Every structure is written in C-alpha cells, then in structure tokens.
Amino acid sequence: MATFEVIEKEGLRLVKVILQNETVRTESGALYYMRGNITMQSKTPSAGGFLKSLATGENIFRPTYTGTGELYLEPSLSGFHIMELNGTEWILDSGAYWASDGNVEVGVERNKLLSGLIGGEGLFQTKVKGRGQVVMMAQGPVEVVQLQNDRLVVDGNFAIARTNTLNYRVEKATKSILGSMTSGEFLVNTFEGTGTILLAPIPYWQVKLLREITAAIPKTSG
C-alpha cells in the first residue's frame, strides 16, 4: 500500500504520498505536484453515477494516481489526519475527505432528513470502507473518543468522523426550547452506541499561538 505522511513547511501542512507501483485516490483539485513515473487518470462517471452526484452533491471526479514516485497534495493552514482502515466503515464530515489508498472504497452515506438539514452535516456525507489509509482534513489535533454502549454530545461540527456502528442525530441541548436558547447551545450532535469518534476542536493556529505565548513567558527559578 502507498505511504502517506503529513509534513510541515513554514507553518503550512501538506500530505506527501510515496508510491511503489501503487494507486491512490484524491479529492478533485488536491494535487500540488508530483515527481517520478506517475500517471493521473480521472474517469468519466456513468450516467447513473452522474445523476447520483447531482442528487447528493457528492464529488464524483476524484482522480487516481498510479505508478512509482512521490505525490504532494496542496498545503493548508489547517491540518490533516491519517486514519488506518482495517475492514471498518467510517462516515466522514462534509468536506473532510482528502485522499486514500486505492483499495479503499469511497461512497455516500445518507443522513436522516432532520439531522442532515439542521445538524450542519448535510443530507449526504462521504463513506469510506475497506483496508488502507485515508487522509482527512482536520482543523487541529485529533482526539479519539471510544464509546462502549455510551452517549456522546458534541457542540458544533467538531466531530470529523465516526464509525458506522454509531447512531447519529441532532437534538436540542435542553428539553425546553427556552432553555436551549438561553444556554447558548441550541442544537447539539449526539452519538450513541459502540464505536469511535474523531474530534478536532482546536485549530492549529491557536495551538501554535499558545506555544509562542508560553515560550515568551520568563521562567523564574525556585
């Protein structure tokens, strides 16, 4: 399988992919540059696939790169997270998919109507399954939360991925509408069951700023 690596250059983060006669798939427009004997291919979807993309809003033009060499994907001020699939199926936050091994199947997951419309995730999300690595865009360091017949309530769109074994819905933060409005947390995303959730609540620039401030504080002895 191809090797994915997140590298940092002058504050920017980008993904480096090493290919040894292998194939990877990326989001449309993700290419930065490549070197070596690598061929890019973007297949025209079938009529059914094109109609499906119109209905779901899912990007169907995800090029593949095959060969031997190095592939670099566009840098970002935010970050990336590399996840290993071992036959599991994950649902990714809208816009989180960035690249994956050629063996990984990329599809569409349909959310419940109400949760999709008001939860910020949209009616359709990207679904990945199989074996291999998947690269996701993440605004900051990723926290892994394991649930065992448990319930997790998340504010905003901090959850960037979840296993398909979890039940997802959107609900009011409190039982009363007035209480939800006055609490400052009107709607929350709720995950229930047994599975894994990936959270990315803190942007990298905030982490960097905190480190710089901490480093500038004079150290006192004793």
Note whether residue 180 is domain-resident: yes
pLDDT of 12 higher than 60: yes
Give the contacts of 144 (CB within 8 A, at least 6 positions apart).
196, 197, 198
Count of domains forming the chain = 1
Q: Give me 177's structure tokens.
A: 């509408």
Note whether residue 99 is domain-resident: yes
Which pLDDT belongs to residue 218? 72
For the stretch 64-75, pLDDT in tens is 999 999 999 999
Note whether residue 13 is domain-resident: yes
Which pLDDT belongs to residue 79? 87
Distance CA(164)–CA(12), nearest Å, equals 32
pLDDT of 117 higher than 70: no
Note whether residue 116 is domain-resident: yes
Q: What mean pLDDT value characterizes the chain?
A: 80
**113 φψ region: left (φ > 0), alpha (ψ -120 to 50), beta (else):** alpha
pLDDT of 49 higher than 50: no
In contact, 39 and 138? CB cutoff 8 Å: no
Note whether residue 168 is domain-resident: yes
Choice among 30-39, 102-111, 115-124 with the minimum mean pLDDT? 115-124
Model pTM score? 0.77
Residue 63: give the domain boundaries.
Answer: 3-216
- CATH number of the domain enclosing 200: 3.60.160.10
Note whether residue 221 is domain-resident: no
Note whether residue 174 is domain-resident: yes
Higher pLDDT, 33 or 208: 33
In contact, 110 and 53? CB cutoff 8 Å: no
With residue 27 as reference, give the H or E element that holds it: none
Note whether residue 222 is domain-resident: no
